[in-house]
Structure 1
Amino acid sequence: MTDLVFADEEDEDAAAAAAALDPWVVLIVDDDVAVHQVTQLVMADFEFAGRRLLFLDAYSAAEARSLLQARRDVALILLDVVMESEHAGLELARYIREELDNHHVRIVLRTGQPGQAPEEHVIKSYDINDYKEKTELTKRKLITVFYAALRSYRDIMIIEQSRQALRRSIDAITRVYDSQNLRRFASAVLEQVAYLLGYEAQGLCASRVAAYAASHAEGRLKILAATPEYSRMLVDEEIGTLPPRVCAALDRALLEQQGNSDPQHFVGYYRSSSGNETLLYMEFAELIDEQARELLEIFCANVAITYESLLLREEIQDTQRSTVYIIGEAVERRSLEPGQHVRRVGEIAALLAEASGMREADVEFLRLAAPLHDVGKIAIADQILGKPGKLDEQEWASVQTHARVGFELLRKSDKRILQLGAIIAHEHHERWDGQGYPRGLAAEQIHLAGRIVAVADVLDTLLSRRCYKEAWRFEDAIAYLSAQAGTQFDPTLIQHLLARLEAVKDIYRRFPDA
C-alpha cells in the first residue's frame, strides 16, 4: 500500500520564489505509460532547495539516448531495465557514463523484474547510484530517493562549477595587466564565491577610485566584477540603470562607510589606506548565515587590495609612458616643428605590430619604445636640425650619426622598453634592399621592430610639415610607401598598412598637430 504524505501549505512568496528558479530536470525512462503518469502525479508538489521538478519522458532506451544527446541539464534519471530488450536500461546506463561521458547525472534503476538484473551484480558492474524494485517504491520512499539524488547532484555541480570558475580565475590572474583583465578575474572569483557558499546568487562588485590614483575616474563608482545577471555593467560601467533596491543599498554603504545586509542580500564595504572604496553587492535565493557573510567580507577586502595594486602599477606605467613622450617630443621640438610625431609613430607601429601577429604584450612594448627612435638627435647641432634647405654632405653625415648615438644611449639600460628602443634607434633607417644606414642591413637582417618603425616614421614625416618641406597629401604619402615596397620597406608591412588605412586615418584624427 502506498504511503500518503500531505504537503504543507506554502505561502505565495515561497511559491513565487520557487517558480523563479530553474526546475530540477528528471528523466523517466520506462516503457510503461502508467509508471510515467503515477510518478509525475505523486511528485507533483515536490520541491528541493527552492526548485520544482520538470519531468521528461522516454519510453525506450533509444528514445532516451536521443534526448540525452541534446541536453546536459538532466539531474536525475529513473531508469527501467527491461524495455526493447532485456538489458536495454543497463546498456543505456553504460552509454551515459562511457560514451556521453556524463558523470554528473544521478541514475536510479527501477525494475519490476529483479531477476533479470540482480542488485549485487548491477551495482558492481554499472555506474548507477541506486537500485530499487518498483514494488518497494512507496510515495515516501520515492521522496527519499529524490532528496538523496538531487542533493548529490547539486553538490557535484557546485564542485564542477567551482572548478570551472577557479580555472577562469587562474587564467585571468596570469594576464591581470589591465583593468579589463582584472574585471574578468574578479567576476570569476565572484561566481566562485557564490558556488562555494552553496547559494544561488547574483551580484556585482564596484569601486570608487581616489582622484589621485586614476584621474579619469575621479569619484566615480565603476563596476569591477559582475555575475551574468549584471554582466552588462562591464560594458558601460554606469550604475544608474541598476534596480532601485541595489542603488539604495550601495548608496547607504557609501554614506555610512560600512556594509549592510538582510537575510537575502549582502553589501560589503572596504576602504583602502589610500581612500579607494570598494563595494560588493550580492542577492541570494536562500537565507545567508554569518559564515557566508564573513567569507564575502574577505572577498571584498581582497578585491579592493588587488585593484589598488593594479592602479599603482598603471600609474607607474603612465608615468613611464609620459616620460618617453616628453623625451621624444623634446627632441622633435629642436627641429622647430612641434607636433605629435612621436605619439603617432608609436600608434602606427603598434597597428603594424598587431597586424604582424605580435603578442599583445609585445605590441604594447613597441608602442612605448617606438617614440624613442630619434633620441640620438640630441647630439646633432641645432643649425643642422633646423636648416630649411637641403643638407650638404658633411651635414648629412652628421645627421646619420643619430642612429648610433641613440643606440649607445639606450642600450646601457637593462629595462626591456629601453633595450627595444635601442634596437629601433639603431635600425629604423636601414632599408629592405640593404642601402640604408648605419650598417647596411637588408631584409630580415633588420629587426622586425626596426622595419615597422621605418614605415611608421617615414609615413608620419611625409604627412607632417617640416622646416624643409610642406606636409604631403595622405594619398600621395601612401602611394610613395607603396612604390617603395620591396626596396626601402618590408613589402609585407606595406600590405598590412594598405589594408588598414582607415585605422591610420583614425590615429591622425586622435593625435592632430597643434
Structure 2
Amino acid sequence: MEHEHFNLKSEKEDLDPQEMLRVIFDYAAKIANERVLDNLLLLMADMGREMIVSDRCTVWLLDTTKNELWSKVAHGLDEIRIPSTAGLVGYAVTYDKAVFIDDAYTNEEYKTYLISGALRTDQQTGYRTKALMVIPFRNSQGEIMGAYQAINKLTAGKQFSDKDMEYLTLASSYAGKSLESVLLTNEIEETQKELIIRMGEIGESRSKETGNHVKRVAEYSYLLALGLGMSQEEAELLRMASPMHDIGKVGIPDSILNKPGKLTDDEFKIMQNHTLVGYNLLKNSNRSILKTAAIVAHEHHEKWNGRGYPRGISGDAIHILGRITALADVFDALGSERVYKKAWELDRILELFKEERGQHFDPQLVDVFFEQLPNILRIREEFSDTALEDLTDK
C-alpha cells in the first residue's frame, strides 16, 4: 500500500524521540485492532513514512503461488502486481537483502534493477526518485513475506540515514507479525466461506440444483444489501450466509424434491418444511454467520403481502435479510432452465417483478433491484451454469 506526498520542496525535520514514540504508539494501537488487509497495509505504509520522514512508502507482499509482489496504491483501486524478481524490491526479496541508495540516478551497483523498477516508473509518471530504501520482512517461521519500500527523504539532506534504516527495520519486523495474524484470519474466513458454500450446495444438490445457483444468489444478495444502504459488514455477512438458504432440503424426501410434475397440496406442505428444518439446524449457533443463515433459511419464502410460508408474515415483519434473499432466489430460479420449464426470458422476469412489487416483494427492494440490474446481469454471466439444471426451488 503506497502513500504519496508530491511536494518535495517542503523540507521537514526528523522526528525527535518523543515524536517517534507518539507515532509508534498511535499506529500500534490502530494496527492491533485492524483486521482488513487493505486497511492494514495502508496503516503500515503511513507508519513507515512518518517514522523516517519519507515522501513515499509502499508495503509489498509476496504472492508465492504466482511468484509476484503486489500492493495497492489507495482504497478501492486495483492492486499493482509485478514479478517477484522485478525492480529493487524484487532484488531485496529474492536475495533477502536490505538495500540503501542515496541517488537512484547515479547508483551503479543496482543500476539494472533500478532501470527495470524505479527509473522506469519515473519515466512514466514524471516523478524523480532520489534516495531509496527497501527492507524485507518475515513471518514467524522466518520466511520472507514482502518488503517495505521508502522513497525520497523530505529533510534538508534528502538522504536516508543509518537511523532511518534502523527505524524502518523495526517497522518491518512489526509488519511481518501483524500481517501474519491478519492473513491467518483471512485464511480462516475464506475457509469458512468455502464450507458454507459447500453446505449450501448439499441442500441444492439433493434437488439437483447446481452449485452456481447458491453463488449467484449470494452475489445478488450482496449487491441488493449495499443498494439498500446496508453497511459493507452487513452486506458481506449476508453474502456469506445466503448460500445456506435451502440447507433445510436435506430433510425433504427425494420423491418430493425431485418430482418432475406439480406437487400435490400435501406434498407442497412437506416441501414448505424445508424452511423450518433449515432454521432449526442453524438457530442455536452463536456464530454471526450461522445466525444470519438461520434467518435467511427461515424467511426466504415469506411474501410482502403475507401469502408466503412458513409463517405467513408480511411487510416489515419479514426480516430484511429474508426479503433480500427471496428476491435474489426467485430471480435466479426463473432465469434458469429446469426439467419442467425453460428459462424465462429476461423481459418476462422483469415484467413479473414490476407486477409483484408490493405483492411478493418489498417495493423498495424491487426499486433497488432495477437500479442494480446491470451489475446483477454481469454476475449472472460471470457465474453462469455450464450444464442444465433440473429443478428449481419449490
Give the structure-1-normalised TM-score. Answer: 0.61
Aligned to 2:95: 256
Gap change, CA 1:461 and 1:166, over 3 Å in 2: farther
Aligned position for 2:182: 310
The aligned counterpart of 1:22 is 9
Distance 1:499 1:483 in 2: 17
Per-residue CA distance 1:198-217 (angstroms, 9 max, x = gap): xx543322121343xxxxxx
Deviation, structure 1 residue 340: 1.1
Q: Distance in 2 between matches of 1:299 and 1:168?
A: 10
Give the aligned partner of residue 222 of structure 1.
70
| RMSD (Å), alpha carbons | 3.2
Q: Secondary structure at the match of 1:316?
A: helix
**SS in structure 2 of the partner of residue 238 of structure 1:** strand
Match of 1:184 in 2: 42
Aligned twin of 1:270 = 137
Structure 1 runs of 4+ aligned residues shifted over 6 Å read 155-173
Could you say which structure has the larger radius of gyration?
1
CA contact (8 A) 1:173 1:185 kept: no
Letter in 2 for 1:504: I
Instruction: Tell me by how many angstroms 1:235 deviates.
Output: 3.8
Deviation at 1:337, TM superposition (A): 3.8
Distance 2:384 2:304 in 1: 30
| Aligned 8 A contact 2:20 2:51 in 1 | no
Q: 1:267: Cα distance to partner?
A: 2.2
Distance in 2, matches of 1:162 and 1:302, equals 14
1:114-163 deviation line (CA, Å, top 9, x unaligned): xxxxxxxxxxxxxxxxxxxxxxxxxxxxxxxxxxxxxxx95899999998
- Tell me what 1:437 maps to: 309
Q: Deviations over 1:424-444 (max 9, x none)?
A: 111111111111111111100
Structure 1 CA distance, aligned partners of 2:63 and 2:208?
40
Alignment-mate amino acid for residue 255 of structure 1:
T
Shift in Å, 1:400 = 0.5
197, 203, 207: which one aligns with 2:61 = 207
Give the aligned partner of residue 279 of structure 1.
147
Instruction: Provide Cα deviations, 1:453-495, integer angstroms capped at 9, x if missing partner.
Output: 1111111111112233221111111211221111111111001
Q: Write the mapping of 1:96-111 to structure 2, written as runs, cut at 5 A.
A: none
- In 1: Cα distance, 2:143 partner to 2:15 partner: 41
String of CA shifts for 1:225-250, please: whole Å, max 9, x gaps.
x6xxxx79x7441347xxxxx95532
Pick closer, same or farther for the CA change 1:222–1:271 going to 2, 3 Å.
same
What is the distance in 2 between the residues matched to 1:185 and 1:502?
A: 34
Unaligned 5+ segments in structure 1 are 1-19, 24-50, 52-152, 212-217, 241-245
Seen in structure 2, the aligned counterparts of structure 1 residues 487 and 163 have a Cα distance that, compared at 3 Å, is: farther
The two structures have a TM-score, normalised by structure 2, of 0.79
Give the counterpart of 2:326 among 454, 465, 468.
Answer: 454
Residue 394 of structure 1 pairs with residue 233 of structure 2: no
Aligned residues: 346
2:334–2:349 CA contact under 8 A, matched in 1: yes
Indicate yes or no: 2:203 matched with 1:355. no
Report the Cα distance in structure 1 between the residues aligned to 2:280 and 2:135, rounded to whole angstroms.
54
Q: Which one has more relative contact order, counting CA pairs under 8 Å at least 6 apart?
A: 2
- Pairwise CA distance, 1:509: 1.1
The residue aligned with 2:368 is 496
AA aligned to 2:80 is: E
